[in-house]
A and B are shown apart, each in its own frame.
Chain A
Amino acid sequence: MPQIVVDDLVKTFRVAERQPGLWGAARGLLKRRHRTVEALAGVSFGIETGELVGYIGPNGAGKSTTVKVLAGILVPDSGRCEVLGRVPWRERVANAREIGVVFGQRTQLWWDLPVIESFELLRDIYRVSPQAHLRSRDELVDMLDMEPLLDVPVRQLSLGQRMRCDLAAALLHSPPVLYLDEPTIGLDAVSKLAVRDFVRQLNRERGVTIILTTHDMDDIEALCTRIIVINEGHILSDGTLNDLRARVTTERWLIVDLAEEDGDVADPQATVISREGHRVCLRFDPDEVSAAELIGRITAGHAIRDLFVENPPIEEIIARLYGEQCR
């Protein structure tokens, strides 16, 4: 059985609507309108031990609702959910010991305390034995290269440093499952790479199951073996990046660097997407015309400095997937 099972989860919220203006506010005193929002409309998936799954969707798609259910802090209206054989909201405390959660937007460390003391407090909260704590801590400190940060109060850390400390904090009790919510949001390029490397290492070497929600498609491309796309409470797609691509579009992009500037490249079986200085980007369908054929025709008509074929960027794929659903 998969480590995490989610079966037909449904969750709706009731939201009060506010009317604008002074008059609207006065009317709101007497009568208030509500509207029902379906955050999860029958979501199902299973995750095996050691998977690293990207869970993506636009804001309000139901990502964080799902994660809250998995973490045991939200009870769904209906459906089944099990994490390591437990129903999270029924056994919140037992479940909490087996999971780590990192929210990119907020820290779980104590603002005025040096990092190391936050760690010690977490040790007591999670009832980790001192030996196990030290072992785990030293290993994490080593992996995240955060030895110099330990004695610094959290409020003095940069965002990137803080995120490394938060990652360690979530993993001190060695949970087999980790939920990461936007772990790279707002980070500089170097910190982003460090976080990605760490997440990859954690997954490959320690076999931690990871669910990653993010808006950063580079995270997804760099890390995830499997991607679940959710929008408006429905799962749109679930599979590898290649599966996702194949589902949405088969098209490929041909990028050509011409010798001359503003060269007039055109082909009946490809569409020009963009033209910028020496570079021209064309879109084509491999079922219609093979890459070799297209390249042959273009090289025949133009002096080419360089050229390469690639997949459309993942942002493009996702955008089309959402668009497809809207239509």
Chain B
Amino acid sequence: MLGDFRLYFRYIGISVRSQMQYRWSFIMMTIGHFLTTGIEFVGIWILFQRFGNIRGWSLAEVALCYGIVNIAFSISDATTRGFDMFHIMVKGGEFDRLLLRPRSTALQVAGQELTMRRIGRLTQGLIVLLWSAHTLGIVWSPAKVALTGAAALGGACLFCGLFVLQATLAFWTVETLEIVNTVTYGGVETAQFPLSIYRPWLRRFFTGVIPLATVSYFPALAILGRGAGSAVPPALQWGAPLAGFAFLLAALQVWKFGVRHYTSTGS
């Protein structure tokens, strides 16, 4: 296990160094990424200056959800590039090379790349989060700080799990990968707003099937102190981010199943 971590950081070190060889490209991409996600937030701001609030949530309150989910997504987006591009590895036969090595395949795929330019979205998410906290005057108890961190990390794990599932799908077909975007990018889009604004079926989907609510909406209720009147019990508001970690573990089991399928069909 320890050796695995060591190897992972070796991989990452290499990936970072080779990205730094193309320094200008990296800088441009990071800025591009920062502005791109920034513009998304402008879209939300435009709507708020016309409508004022959304179901009683102010822009600053929505910004907390937005910040958490974007931080989470940027972390997963940076760490799972290997899984995101995995269908290319399968198609090109490079996955065979990983199978020829005496290490777990998930570790090797994860080690392919740490996409540094995702710092753009991460920074943007952090800025929005801090702006929200500042505007709302949130009193940061250690518990709230921990909950925010857990929500972001749990969310990152959740999205990582989704990317792992997407990669697993590539063992069967490379055509339907886009469907996973509905829950990754679509999930980000959804979770930028409090889940309570959506219709029940979507709420249930992002709570029960893809537990996205557990890493954004539920903890946001607790952090904002809106939880008291809510139907969501306090234990769930505080404990929910664990679901994100569980989701990743489950996804890795499915991945193993996919690898077994791959080695039996060779396609």
Contacts and interface: CB of A to CB of B under 8 A. Distances in A.
A112 B18 contact: yes
Contact of A113 (B18, B93, B108, B267): B18
Interface of A: 11, 13, 65, 68, 71-75, 89, 92-94, 96-97, 99, 101, 103, 106, 108, 110-113, 117, 121, 124-127
A124 B14 contact: no
Main secondary structure of the interface of B (DSSP, over half): helix
Given A13-B267, A97-B102, A124-B6, 8 more contacts: A11-B266, A68-B96, A94-B102, A96-B102, A103-B97, A124-B3, A125-B7, A125-B108
B243 to A, nearest CB: 31
B14 A121 contact: yes
A122 B94 CA distance: 16
Contacts of B263: 72-75, 89, 92
Contacts of B141: none
B10 interface: yes
Contacts of B264: 74-75
Contacts, number: 66
B94 A106 contact: yes
Interface in B16-73: 17-18, 21
B226 interface: no
Interface of A is mostly: mixed
Given A73-B96, A117-B14, A125-B7, A93 B265 contact: no
B11 interface: yes
Nearest to B96: A73
B103 interface: yes
Given A13-B265, A89-B263, A124-B6, A96 B14 contact: no
Contact of B102 (A65, A101, A125): A125
Contacts of A11: 266
Nearest to A113: B14
Given A72-B99, A73-B96, A75-B263, A112 B10 contact: no
Contacts of B199: none
Nearest to B98: A73
Given A68-B96, A106-B94, A112-B21, A125 B266 contact: no
B13 to A, nearest CB: 10
A108 B103 CA distance: 15
A127 B10 CA distance: 13
Contacts of A73: 96, 99-100, 263, 266
